[in-house]
């Protein structure tokens, strides 16, 4: 099972290993399904981390006048409301 405390790079590396194992095609159906499920979970975790990083970068890059202005990142905040504040 994937460790959600591991780094993005470690998760991505594990996902790449799973893809290589599945592409070889010499696994049982059960093992292939298990790896596929782990791969989907890792893929979602990686996508979530990338989305969070993108939101943090957007927060750091803009203020009301379009200047670079760092602000605290709140992962629970509504990005639609942030966009309204920025415009």
Does the pLDDT value for residue 30 go beyond 60? Answer: yes
Helix (H/G/I), strand (E/B), else coil: 25 = coil
Tokens linked to 74: 């709140």
> Which pLDDT does position 18 carry in this prediction?
97
- Prediction pTM value: 0.65
Label residue 4 by pLDDT band (50, 70, 90). Answer: low
Tell me which of 48 and 86 has the higher pLDDT: 48
What is the sign, positive or negative, of the torsion defined by CA atoms of 73, 76, 77, 79? positive
> Which pLDDT does position 34 carry in this prediction?
97
Walk me through the domains of the chain, giving residue ranges and CATH numbers: 8-86 (1.10.287)
Label residue 13 by pLDDT band (50, 70, 90). Answer: very high
Helix (H/G/I), strand (E/B), else coil: 53 = helix
Q: Kindly write down the DSSP assignment for every residue of 22-75, as one continuous string.
A: HHH--S-HHHHHHHHHHHHHHHHHHHHHHHHHHHHHHHHH--TTS--------T
């Amino acid at each position: 099972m994937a460790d959600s405390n591991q780094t993005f790079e470690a998760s991505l590396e594990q996902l790449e290993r799973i893809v290589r194992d599945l592409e070889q095609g010499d696994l049982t159906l059960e093992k292939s399904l298990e790896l596929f499920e782990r791969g989907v979970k890792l893929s979602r975790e990686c996508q979530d981390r990338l989305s969070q990083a993108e939101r943090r970068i957007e927060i750091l890059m803009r203020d009301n006048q379009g200047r670079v202005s760092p602000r605290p990142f709140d992962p629970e905040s509504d990005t639609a409301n942030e966009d309204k504040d920025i415009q």
